């Protein structure tokens, strides 16, 4: 399994054609060779699965890979027919990673979670939505554009708050995962050494 190198970037195997270090498993940015397209949005860009995404770096990678496909892959007889699928794969992955809700949905399912139609706090949530709807309807009837704008702003703030809460949850999950993975590695190392010691002592006992 590829390892994370720095800033959430995953090590990708070198191009089998030109030997260049690739930034994506989809296409070699140097020679334009196209490879098997992985299913994951993060993986297509050579990024580690995480809520935190450097959007500027993502766009830079997208631009570089898109140029490789249109300028280099399209000029290769062995890659030309695969360009449209590769372009669509990168476009779809980019849309997923740029949209925090879609990124969250991808992370949720990749961690084994299941999407919910409505939050657990269903009644409280429905009450908030109904209150906003009633206020908006009254503002429209009265022609109060300022009040309607404030309702929109309030809804936008609730959206931002929910996205932030999701991000905080994923960040805590990722941190706990790394910590528990490290704890498991330590425990396995200890178990392996104890097994060696037990075998050593048993051998002495038998001798």
Q: What is the pLDDT of residues 102-125, one digit of tens each?
A: 999 999 999 999 998 888 888 899
CA dist 122 and 119 (Å) reads 5
Which residue, chain included where needed, has tokens 């990722």? 174
Q: What is the pLDDT of residues 161-170, one digit of tens each?
A: 999 999 999 9
Which residue, chain included where needed, has tokens 């949720």? 108
Whether pTM > 0.85 for this model: the answer is no
CATH number corresponding to 1-115: 1.10.287.110
CB-based burial label for 28 (10 Å; 0-12, 13-18, 19+): buried
Q: What is the pLDDT of residues 3-50, one digit of tens each?
A: 544 557 888 999 999 999 999 999 999 999 999 999 999 999 999 999
Once rounded to an integer, what is the mean pLDDT over residues 185-192? 94
Q: Quick one: pLDDT at residue 2? A: 46
Q: Quick one: pLDDT at residue 120? A: 86
The confidence band for 152, taking pLDDT boundaries of 50, 70 and 90, is very high
Once rounded to an integer, what is the mean pLDDT over residues 74-88? 95
Q: How do the domains of the chain map onto residue ranges?
A: 1-115, 122-206
Average pLDDT, rounded, for the chain: 92
Q: Quick one: pLDDT at residue 205? A: 87
Q: Quick one: pLDDT at residue 4? A: 45
Q: How many CB atoms lie within 10 A of CB 44?
A: 25
Q: Quick one: pLDDT at residue 130? A: 94
Percent of the chain with pLDDT strictly greater than 90: 86
Q: Quick one: pLDDT at residue 1? A: 38
């Amino acid at each position: 399994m590829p390892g994370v190198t720095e800033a959430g970037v995953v090590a990708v195997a070198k191009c089998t054609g030109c030997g260049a270090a690739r930034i994506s498993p989809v296409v070699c940015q140097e020679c334009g060779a196209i490879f098997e397209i992985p299913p994951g949005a993060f993986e297509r860009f050579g990024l580690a699965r995480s809520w935190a995404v450097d959007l500027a770096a993502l766009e830079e990678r997208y631009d570089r890979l898109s140029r490789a496909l249109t300028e280099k892959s399209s000029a290769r007889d062995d890659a030309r027919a695969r360009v449209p699928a590769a372009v669509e794969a990168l476009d779809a992955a980019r849309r997923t990673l740029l949209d925090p809700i879609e990124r969250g949905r991808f992370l949720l399912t990749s961690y084994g979670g299941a999407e919910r139609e409505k939050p657990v706090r269903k009644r409280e949530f429905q009450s908030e939505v109904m209150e906003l709807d009633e206020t908006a309807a009254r503002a429209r009837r009265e022609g109060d554009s300022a009040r309607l704008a404030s309702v929109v702003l309030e809804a936008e703030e609730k959206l931002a708050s929910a996205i932030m809460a999701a991000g905080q949850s994923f960040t805590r999950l990722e941190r706990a995962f790394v910590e528990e993975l490290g704890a498991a590695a330590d425990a396995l190392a200890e178990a392996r050494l104890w097994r060696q010691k037990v075998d050593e002592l048993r051998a002495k006992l038998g001798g």
